Structure 1
Amino acid sequence: MSTTPPYLIPSRLAKRTQYDTETICSILDEALFCVISYSVDNRPFAIPTAFVRYEDKIYIHGSVGSHFIREIEKGIPVCISIMLTDALVVAKSAFSHSVNYRSLTIFSKAEKIEDTETKRAAFEWLTNKIVPDSWEYLRPMKDNEVKKTTALAFSFEEASAKTRTGMPNDEEEDLELPIWSGLIPLQTNRLAPIADELSKNIPLPSHLM
């Protein structure tokens, strides 16, 4: 008998769903941002935020005064969602158009990080994910900056990935139509850095090249 919670079982196209740790971690490590959804007083909220995975948890941070942070740090249930798009799937009919994607849904609760050293480590992990190898180059965080920032961790034990790959799945009667079908690949690239006015005479550090 499956031990997967019913809310992680898809209502359609179940063959695209995966629960293995390798797939889940690969999506977490590639994505820079997620959306955290929650409910307060029967009102829904969905907040995009940067995150990082370290070992078996994901971490976010925010101002201690943030309404979003102050609500979810209480440990209320949240739904964390991520989607990476790899290609537009162009079929011979609009009905059969699709997207090649890798997505992730996580049900979890926040764990507030109280230990100062763990908080600093979480900030380092997140900083180096967003701008690789930048932590040591930057001015160190001040103690009061650490105190003004909340770090939250989330388990991803209750997570499911859903993916689509491949060419269009056209209807059989459409296969011989003289209409182009195929893929339009999509890609997110980091482009050349652009200096602000105060940095125009400062050499570009090696980690940004």
Structure 2
Amino acid sequence: MNAPSAPSYPVDGMNRVKRRHDRGAYDHETVHGLLDAAVLCHVSYVIDGQPYCTPTLFWREGTRLYWHGSSASRMLRNQSDGQPACLAVTHLDSLVLARCGFNHSADYRSVMAFGHAWLVADPEEKRRALVMMVDRFFPDRTAGLRQTTEQETKATAVVVMEIERASAKIRAKGVADDDEDYALPIYAERLPVHMVIGAPEPCPRLVPDIERPASLTPYREGRRLDDAVSEAYSTTYKVDEGVIG
């Protein structure tokens, strides 16, 4: 008996990786892992024929993506009724210097997710989403915070998009010159690039004897940000317990 295939997103002309298709992936594990390790995304959409691209914080729940912004945002007002949208994230892993300009490149991990975006209108779902906007990065933090006011809730809009199509594209090749070029007396190298957490800087107006919560342990000096964010996501959503995949 054949083992069941891993869950994947449908592939068609919208999300198929056309150039260097060997770098493409459509399975949930790869796509979701790259999304969960990212902090910022870029959301692309069209208003009256004009394309726009907006950076924003986001998070994933199953095959749904959420992002937020000001209730006065033109982007969010125009994504309130099922408008098509594309959400993208990129992790830059290296700069690659080759022996010719054509082969200069970068190692990266990226995702493009497609769907139709809707404004979250239900008050309870919106309040829950605003909690997860924080707790996705900092597990259980909202429970210890000053409660969000109704005015603050009204001032924030939340958008949800079911992922209908998605693709990951990954380059992890380093220097890749033409065979005949390796003999040239030209220097080449790979420059690893990582976003790393610096030393925490406590607010100078902290109340005396307030200690840094243990829940912030993933965010320690010198650690890669994508690793810390992935750990925080897993803790909040208990991925390892099968609560959400």
* Pair in the same fold by TM > 0.5: yes
Task: Count the aligned residue pairs.
Answer: 207
Q: Corresponding residue for 1:83?
A: 90
Q: 1:26 aligns with which of 27, 33, 41?
A: 33
For the aligned residue pairs, the C-alpha RMSD in angstroms reads 1.9
Alignment gaps of 5+ in structure 2: 1-9, 218-245
- Name the aligned partner's letter for residue 74 of structure 2: H
Q: Corresponding residue for 1:129?
A: 136
User: Is 1:100 aligned with 2:116?
Assistant: no
User: Is 1:177 aligned with 2:189?
Assistant: no
Q: How does 1:128-147 map to 2 (within 5 A)?
A: 128-147=135-154
Over the matched positions of the two proteins, sequence identity in percent amounts to 32
Change in 2 beyond 3 A, CA 1:45/1:202: farther
- Name the aligned partner's letter for residue 107 of structure 2: N
**After TM superposition, which residue ranges in structure 1, 4 or more long, deviate above 4 angstroms?**
none
TM-score using structure 1 length: 0.89
> 1:172, 1:38 → 2: CA distance?
42
Q: Indicate the SS of the match to 2:183.
A: coil
Q: Indicate the SS of the match to 1:192.
A: coil
Q: Corresponding residue for 2:12?
A: 5
> 1:200, 1:177 → 2: CA distance?
63
Q: Corresponding residue for 1:64?
A: 71
- Name the aligned partner's letter for residue 67 of structure 1: R
1:31-70 deviation per Cα after TM superposition (whole angstroms, max 9, x unaligned): 1111111111111111000001112211111222211110
- Name the aligned partner's letter for residue 40 of structure 1: I
- Name the aligned partner's letter for residue 84 of structure 1: H
Q: Could you tell me how far 1:182 is from its partner in structure 2?
A: 3.1
Q: Corresponding residue for 1:194?
A: 201
Indicate conservation of the 8 Å contact 2:14/2:165, yes or no.
Answer: no
TM-score using structure 2 length: 0.77
Alignment gaps of 5+ in structure 1: none
Q: How does 1:108-127 map to 2 (within 5 A)?
A: 108-127=115-134
